[in-house]
Amino acid sequence: MPPEHLTDEEIVRRALKEKDAFAPLIERYEAKLARYLERLGLSVREDREDVLQNAFIKAYRNLNSFDPELSFSSWMYRIAHNEAMSFFRARRARPQVELSEEGEALIVELKDESADASASAEARISREELARGLSRLPERYRDVLALRFFEDKSYAEMSDILQVPVGTVSTLVHRAKHALRAALPDTFHP
Amino acid sequence: MNTEPNAALADRILSRIKGEGIVPRPRWEFFVKNVAFWALGAFAVALGAFAFSAGLFEVENAGWQFYAATHGDLLTFILEAMPFLWLLALALFILLGYANIRRTKRGYRYPLSLIAFGAVLTSVALGTGLYAAGLGAELEEAVGDHPPFYRPVLVEQHVWWEAPGKGLLGGTVVSLATDTATFVLKDFSGRTWTVSSGGLPPQAITLLARGGTVRVVGVPVVASTSDFDACFIFPWQTFGVAKSGPLPPPIAVISSSSETGMTSVRIQQCKSIGSYRQLRSIEDAGSF
């Protein structure tokens, strides 16, 4: 059966027997994870590729620890996330978020929760301002916002990626939105 | 950013995997690691149970009923009687248990409150069982002998009840006069006291006649004398020990020419004891 018809779990089983069978997984997740890493603040393409490569190597080395009760996607995101955090710590680099066309979902979410939605709806916020706001947030808050609003992950998936209980994810998302609102220009505030 | 799949990346990764001879780590390594974290977590909770059993032994044997006689006020007593060392050990072991369980394969899914509650509940349930089996006493005494800042609860009790200046005496009944007006008591340091027991209620005399270790609350001794006037006699019970100790040695019966009743002076002296009312109610209730 061609790899494109196989589930992630089936490819994992194949890859455990044959190295080359790992390639379809890389191709399947490469773009998504690269985008995720960029949203985490890895703005330099070479750095992103290094982190991505290390994440896939680590995933291959630890394939036997993959728990089929989790989705492979969550497991892979977790590894990529941990690699990115190690990168920032090792380089003592400050994450620099750059956003392309995305961000609208997050802006809508922030506006919906404002006390005076009609007033804030008038306020416009540029992608650059949102990126600057995200860059200013603590790492933990940026992580949850990226997963929730850019990667469209559920709380259960975020729990598996960040390895914290679902309740903690919910609290973090709430606090992160509050922190981001505070980090945005005054014109955005209700 | 270009988000199109980069065909070269898969090739680069595979060639690195092949070139460096990278192979998946065997499944058993992860299994062993997971089991080890569970085992360490369970071990920590079990140690917490031992700490709880020792703390329970300490609390049970602190002599709460007699706090008014030994310490005067409840707060001072609590500060001295609380098993802080064991509570600290229990908290540390529960934290250690949490840290290990959190690192198991799906441990991150459980909230801290759930794991902490489960660990506390397990430690308390298991610790109560260990206490009932007498292991709390063994541990409390064994460990309690070592840290310089800690005294086992029974030793602490001996210190509190070897205070004739405060009207407190503890020790073994050696002999009782035929008219029950006096008895001889050997305290925990081996010193022998002649104690006036005339006029004490029948249950106190029964305790003395049975022999063994007793607590005596009496008129504080002001001079260096070996005479002591008893106002109350209570049994010396030790809770949470697996085996009951040996039967008390038979007491000698000696003749006496003392006053068999309680003189009015002594009655007044007894009533002037700060804890008189509390001790009277314990005696009346027979709740010892």
The pLDDT tens digits of the residues spanning B62-80 come to: 999 999 999 989 999 999 9
What is the pLDDT averaged over residues A108-123? 56
What is the pLDDT averaged over residues B190-196? 92
User: Percent of chain B having pLDDT more than 90?
Assistant: 55
Greater confidence, B252 or B164? B164
Q: Residue B153 in contact with residue B62, Cβ under 8 Å?
A: yes
Rg (CA), chain B: 30
In this prediction, residue A2 has a pLDDT band, given cuts at 50, 70 and 90, of confident
What is the per-residue pLDDT for B180?
85
What is the pLDDT averaged over residues A60-74? 93
Q: How do residues B113-162 score in pLDDT, each as one tens digit?
A: 898 899 999 999 999 999 999 999 988 888 877 777 788 888 899 999 99
Whole-angstrom Cα distance, residue A11 to residue A5? 10
Tell me where in chain B the CATH 2.40.50.140 domain(s) lie: 161-285
Q: How far is A149 from chain B (nearest CA, A)?
A: 18
What is the per-residue pLDDT for A189?
59
Q: A162: closest CA among A40, A14, A2?
A: A40
What is the pLDDT averaged over residues A81-103? 79
Instruction: Characterize the bridge pairing of strands B192-196 and B182-187.
Output: antiparallel
What is the per-residue pLDDT for B56?
95
Give every CB contact of residue A4 below 8 A, 6+ residues apart in sequence. Answer: A24
Nearest to B24 among A64, A69, A164 (CB): A64
**Lowest mean per-residue pLDDT among A51-55, A160-164, B179-183:** B179-183
Greater confidence, A93 or B215? B215
What is the per-residue pLDDT for B30?
96
- Chain A residues touching residue B10 (CB < 8 angstroms): 23, 26-27, 30
Q: B41: closest CA among B129, B102, B114, B120?
A: B102
What is the pLDDT averaged over residues A76-82? 96
Q: How far is A74 from chain B (nearest CA, A)?
A: 13
Nearest to B24 among A63, A164, A167 (CB): A63
Q: How far is B18 from chain A (nearest CA, A)?
A: 8
Instruction: Write down the CATH superfamily of domain B161-285.
Output: Nucleic acid-binding proteins (2.40.50.140)
Selected residue of B9, B12, B20, B27 to mutate for chain A interface (largest A Cβ count, 10 A)? B9
Residue A122 has pLDDT above 50, yes or no: no
| The most confident of A120-129, A151-160, B220-229, B267-276, by mean pLDDT | A151-160
What is the per-residue pLDDT for A120?
46
What is the per-residue pLDDT for B7?
54
Q: B9: closest CA among A67, A84, A53, A181?
A: A53
What is the per-residue pLDDT for B129?
95
In this prediction, residue B257 has a pLDDT band, given cuts at 50, 70 and 90, of low
Comparing alpha-carbon positions, the chain B residue that sits nearest to A59 is B24
**Residue-range domains of chain A with CATH:** 3-91 (1.10.1740.10), 104-188 (1.10.10.10)
What is the pLDDT averaged over residues B246-265? 66
Whole-angstrom Cα distance, residue B49 to residue B124? 6
What is the pLDDT averaged over residues A74-99? 86
- Chain A residues touching residue B12 (CB < 8 angstroms): 53
Q: How far is A120 from chain B (nearest CA, A)?
A: 31
Q: How many residues does chain A have?
A: 190
Cβ distance A64 to B27 less than 8 Å, yes or no, reads yes
Q: How is residue B272 written in tokens?
A: 């002037």
Cβ distance B109 to A165 less than 8 Å, yes or no, reads yes
What is the per-residue pLDDT for B276?
83
Chain A, chain B: beta-carbon pairs less than 8 Å apart: 81
Residue B10 has pLDDT above 50, yes or no: yes
